[in-house]
Amino acid sequence: MENIGISFGGGLDPRDVVECAKLADELGYDSIWITEGNGGDQFSILTACSFVTKTLRLGTSISSVFVRSAPTIAMAAACVDAYSEGRLILGLGSSHKVQVEGQHGITYSKPYTTILESVHIIRTLLHDESISYNGEVFKLNEFKLSFKPYRSEIPIYLAAVFPKMLKKAGELADGVILTQTMPGKASEARDMIIEGAESSGRRSEKLEIASLLSCYVTTNKDDARKRARESLAHTCGFYPRYNRFIAKSGFKQEATAIKLLWDQRKFSAAAQNVSDEMVDTFNIIGDPDECLDRIENHRKAGITLPILGFRSCKNDLKREILTSIRSIAN
CA separation for the pair 328, 287 (Å, rounded): 9
Q: Are 110 and 175 a contacting pair, CB within 8 Å?
A: no
- CATH 3.20.20.30-classified regions of the chain: 5-218+287-329
- Looking at residue 12, its pLDDT comes to 94
Give the span between the Cα atoms of 45 and 18, in whole angstroms.
7
Burial 245-273 (b: 16+ CB within 10 A, else e): bbbebebeebbebbbebbeeebbeebbeb
What mean pLDDT is reported for the chain? 96
From 199, 2, 235, select the one nearest 99 (Cα to Cα): 235
Nearest to 61 by CA among 188, 127, 155, 190: 155
d(CA 303, CA 296): 9
At 87-96, the pLDDT tens digits run: 999 999 999 9
Options 3.40.50.1000, 3.30.2320.80, 2.30.30.110, 3.20.20.30; which CATH number does 5-218+287-329 get? 3.20.20.30
Task: Assign 39 to helix, strand or coil.
Answer: coil
Task: Write the pLDDT tens digit of every residue in 268-301.
Answer: 999 999 999 999 999 999 999 999 999 999 999 9
Whether residue 49 contacts residue 18, with contact meaning beta carbons closer than 8 Å, is answered with yes
CA triple 96-102-107, angle to 5 deg? 70
pTM here is 0.96
The one-letter amino acid code at 155 reads P
First to last CA, the chain: 8
Whole-angstrom CA distances from 162 to 43, 96, 110, 166, 185 are 27, 14, 16, 6, 10
- Dump pLDDT digits (tens) for 201-260: 998 888 999 999 999 999 999 999 999 999 999 999 999 999 999 999 999 999 999 999
